[in-house]
Amino acid sequence: MSVNETPEESIYTVNFRKAWITPEYKRTNRVIGILREFAIRHMKTDDIKIDQYLNRYLWRRGKRNPPRRIRVRMTKDETDTVVISLYEEFKEKKSQTQDLELKKVAETPEEKPAEEKQDAVAKEQVELEDSLKKDGKDSAAIESDDDSKKEPDQKTAEKKPKKKSSQKKKSTKKES
């Protein structure tokens, strides 16, 4: 491959049926070997690197139960190094970035009215405090007024009768 060429990129589905011939406790190791052999055969090079996310995907169900088949993207760069990565990873990244852009557009119009409402509420509170200060009441008096309003509610909550349990008491007398 010359220096001016772009890297080769191919998408393959690799079947791991040979891994089930090997003993259970060696299956995922065998899957890695099969994947490397497949890449050597199709990409015509011995320098193979497996992406970290692909490796985690293969090992996530343990040593005894790897996936039966997998879809991968093999990329060959200028130095004839082949990097094997998950194919689904690229689809997810594209869809996630599109979703984020859509969320930003959707959230922007909604945030402005909410901020305006908060500003309006804050202005009303400041105006109330100013008007009460002019009348001779300070903020401590306002808080005490609010407390006096809350107290009757708490008292009525305490006066509610408690429910009696419907269970009957068992007699402790022994029958002879």
- pLDDT of 26 reads 96
For residue 14, the cross-strand partners are 70
How far, in Å, CA of 43 to CA of 76, rounded?
A: 7
Sole residue written with tokens 């089930």:
20
61-115, pLDDT tens digit by residue? 999 999 999 999 999 999 999 999 999 855 566 666 666 666 666 665 555 566 6
The model's pTM = 0.50
Quick one: how far is CA 150 from the chain centroid? 41
DSSP for 58-72, written as a single string = HHTT-SS---SEEEE
Structure token pair of residue 44: 């015509």
Residue-range domain boundaries for the chain: 8-86, 102-137
Q: Over 50: is that where the pLDDT of 59 sits?
A: yes
CATH of range 8-86; options 3.10.440.10, 3.30.230.10, 3.30.300.100, 3.40.50.11720: 3.10.440.10
How far, in Å, CA of 85 to CA of 54, rounded?
A: 6
